[in-house]
Structure 1
Amino acid sequence: MARLRVAVLGLGEAGSAIAQDLLRAGAEVVGFDPVPEKTVTGLLRAQSEAEAVEGASLVLSVNWARVAREVAEKVAPVLRPGQIYADLNTASPSLKRLLAEILAPTGARFVDVALMSPVPGRGLATPSLASGPGAWAYKGGLEPLGAAVEVVGERPGEAALRKLLRSVFFKGMAAAVLEALEAAKRLGLEAEVWDNIAKTLKEADETLVGRLVEGSLRHAERRREEMLAAAELLREVGVEPLVTEATARQLGRLLGRELA
């Protein structure tokens, strides 16, 4: 049985970890990164994106969303029918659909891939969502090598939108934690607030989302006043209350809906 040949475009933290795992799993890996020093032991180093893609059954674009279109346009002239082109960058659903349109004339099958947790430490086993014309082929090619892929739709962008909706919550929560801890540090209460946050997260269960939504709707006015007071406290200790004031504005909107 012929070895799977994979092109990895982008050898940063994520790309190099995935490439290493592919090599350990027995795949033949060709890689390219515009930074010459970035490489992985055992990988065949190409001189361009186009060179890396030629002859590869599977192409993984692991760059940044801001260069995803540029990379797709560079490899489009050499892509062939039957190849699978997977974009693993965190990008908007509209950009994923645009990439699929750019590559459609080549006959290659596009896959929108959303990596759902940090790649370092997990590598190829990072939980991921996939959508698009090549999603099932992508899953079939990589799962035997250790990948964890859930197909969520046939249209490009279906995977991206699910990751970004999760990001609204998860990254927003991280921003709120950072803002609270910065103020607590300036007041000499960092360890106490840290422990309180950790305890709250540890005790969370499946009812938490419902309680958060119901509580905000029911007590929007009181909670808005509470967050305005918190914002005043943060300003007093020199912390800009970005998340806190945004929360107060959202509660104000909820209150407006209730009054309407």
Structure 2
Amino acid sequence: MSAPATEPKQWNVGLIGYGEVGRILAEDLRKQEINVAAYDIKLRSDQSGRALRDHARQLGVTLTASHANLAAQSDFIVSAVTASQAVPVAKACADTVKKGAWYLDFNSASPGAKQRAAGMIDAAGGRYVEGAVMTSVPPYRIKVPLLLGGSSASALAPLLNQLGFAATVASDKLGVASAVKMCRSVMIKGLEAMVIESFTTARAYGVEDAVLASLKETFPGIDWEKQGAYFFQRVIEHGRRRSEEVREVAQTVREIGLEPWSSSGTAERQAWIADLADEGLFGERGSKGFARSADWRTEADRILGAIESKKRKP
């Protein structure tokens, strides 16, 4: 097994998870002619895997057959999967990770989960660094604000920034960067869930205009029409991933001895919307205009229609 390349632009980069985040990173890295390989469990599916394979082929991204295969050939691994898979993916890579290879855990997992994943990678000779993505990736792409943590974070940060990342070191102690991310998500993901619940209920009672006017008076710096549409769109499109993240948020709160009542409710609301999306309520995933209505009322009416339909079922 060859030693990892020392120059970032000569790295073989391995992306575990070829969803929205993985594809964006692949695009921005391939623009720099960096070698990129990827693995995603969805590649096993004829339907969902086809779009991923087409995307990879267009970019020149090599697709591998397994986590282990990807780890064996990568100088720098980015794990960008759902929160619940952060530890299992680290375990799957540990047996074949190159000695000295970097392992950046992009996942929105609790500090405890990051510490468990780090133990596996470091024990195998890799260099684990936790990453906390501090806002939505698409607007910023590879330059999304990224906090790093762990004993290898200070060494990795300048190398990442040579590739176009916007990485800063939060702490050399594992868990600090993730704690910042998780505590922020209590607010952000909670606000998403509250807006969907508030706006949909207001729509049902016919008082949405009065509610929006009141919110504007209390928080004049927020365009609640625009923000509402954005929150509906993001949760409809990514509710499953968000619900898993918020369950990790709840675990983060629980780890300090505080009962995560708010976070647990947020996770349930996000998962509920994801279930409706999976049933096709909001249209076909990936279709033009999917969940991007300029008027959140369109989506609220669909939700209300689904509720009425379920009421009518015996």
- Normalising by structure 1, report the TM-score: 0.73
Give, in whole Å, the separation in 2 of the partners of 1:169 and 1:30. Answer: 35
Q: CA deviation at 1:194?
A: 2.8
- Residue 146 of structure 2 corresponds to residue 128 of structure 1: yes
User: Percent identity among equivalent residues?
Assistant: 29
Match in the other structure for 2:168 = 150
Q: CA deviation at 1:167?
A: 1.0
- Residue 49 of structure 2 corresponds to residue 10 of structure 1: no
Structure 2 alignment gaps of length 5 or more: 1-6, 44-48, 223-260, 266-314
Match in the other structure for 1:235 = none
CA pair 198-148 structure 1, distance change in 2 beyond 3 A:
farther
Instruction: Decide whether the 8 Å contact of 2:71 with 2:98 is kept in 1.
Output: no
Q: CA deviation at 1:77?
A: 1.2
Aligned counterparts, 1:1-260, within 5 A? 3-36=10-43, 37=49, 38-39=52-53, 40=56, 41-198=59-216, 200-203=218-221
Give, in whole Å, the separation in 2 of the partners of 1:50 and 1:117. Answer: 30
Give, in whole Å, the separation in 2 of the partners of 1:26 and 1:139. Answer: 20
Give, in whole Å, the separation in 1 of the partners of 2:168 and 2:70. Answer: 27
Instruction: Decide whether the 8 Å contact of 1:18 with 1:123 is kept in 2.
Output: yes
Q: Deviations over 1:25-77 (max 9, x none)?
A: 33211111122222422111111111112232210001112122221111111
Instruction: Decide whether the 8 Å contact of 1:58 with 1:84 is kept in 2.
Output: yes
- Normalising by structure 2, report the TM-score: 0.61
Give, in whole Å, the separation in 1 of the partners of 2:136 and 2:216. Answer: 20
Q: CA deviation at 1:199?
A: 5.6
Q: CA deviation at 1:102?
A: 1.3
Q: Deviations over 1:124-173 (max 9, x none)?
A: 11111110122123322221222111210112211111111111122222
Q: Residue type matched to 2:107 in 1?
A: N
Q: Deviations over 1:77-113 (max 9, x none)?
A: 1113221111111111000000111122222111111
Q: Residue type matched to 2:34 in 1?
A: A
Instruction: Decide whether the 8 Å contact of 2:74 with 2:98 is kept in 1.
Output: no
CA pair 202-15 structure 1, distance change in 2 beyond 3 A:
farther
Q: Residue type matched to 1:8 in 2?
A: L
The structure number with the bigger radius of gyration is: 1
Instruction: Decide whether the 8 Å contact of 1:103 with 1:110 is kept in 2.
Output: yes
Q: CA deviation at 1:203?
A: 3.1
Give, in whole Å, the separation in 2 of the partners of 1:198 and 1:146. Answer: 38
Aligned residues: 207
Instruction: Decide whether the 8 Å contact of 1:129 with 1:151 is kept in 2.
Output: yes
DSSP 3-state at the match of 1:164: helix
